[in-house]
């Protein structure tokens, strides 16, 4: 149970900030939340959120797709390499 020190709103949920005015209940949770928001931007979900919240979602989506494609070649190659090594190790252990 939290009571907001700014607007006085009482909240029974486990929210870390006031759902009414957005005030964080403690400084530490605010820092953690900001950190998480930063980290979330690196994830697919965070990117989707960013696109949806953008002023021009269509433009943002195109920019994001471009960025993803550039990254995909890097991670895609790495994934292929890992699969290749795994299959190779499996074949060697069987023989
Ligand atoms: Zn509040």
Q: Is it the case that residue 13 has pLDDT exceeding 80?
A: yes
Q: pTM, whole model, 2 decimals?
A: 0.42
Calculate the alpha carbon distances from 68 to 42, 47, 50, 75, 95 in Å: 11, 10, 14, 10, 39
pLDDT digit string (tens) for 14-29? 888 898 998 998 898 8
Q: What's the 19 CA to ligand 1 centre distance in angstroms?
A: 7
pLDDT band at 7 (very low <50, low <70, confident <90, very high): very high
Cβ proximity of 21 and 6 under 8 Å: yes
Q: Is it the case that residue 1 has pLDDT exceeding 80?
A: no
Q: Is it the case that residue 46 has pLDDT exceeding 90?
A: no
Ion ligand 1 nearby residues (CB, 5 A): 4, 6-7, 9, 18, 20-21, 23
pLDDT digit string (tens) for 68-82? 788 778 888 888 889
Tally Cβ neighbours within 10 Å of residue 18.
Answer: 20
């Amino acid at each position: 149970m939290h009571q907001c020190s700014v607007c006085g709103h009482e909240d029974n949920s486990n929210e870390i900030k006031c759902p009414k005015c957005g005030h964080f209940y403690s400084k530490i949770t605010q820092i953690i939340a900001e950190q998480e928001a930063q980290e979330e931007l690196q994830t697919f979900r965070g990117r989707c959120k960013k696109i949806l919240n953008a002023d021009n979602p269509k433009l943002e989506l195109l920019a994001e797709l471009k960025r993803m494609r550039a990254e995909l070649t890097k991670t895609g190659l790495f994934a292929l390499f890992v699969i290749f090594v795994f299959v190779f190790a499996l074949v060697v252990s069987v023989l």
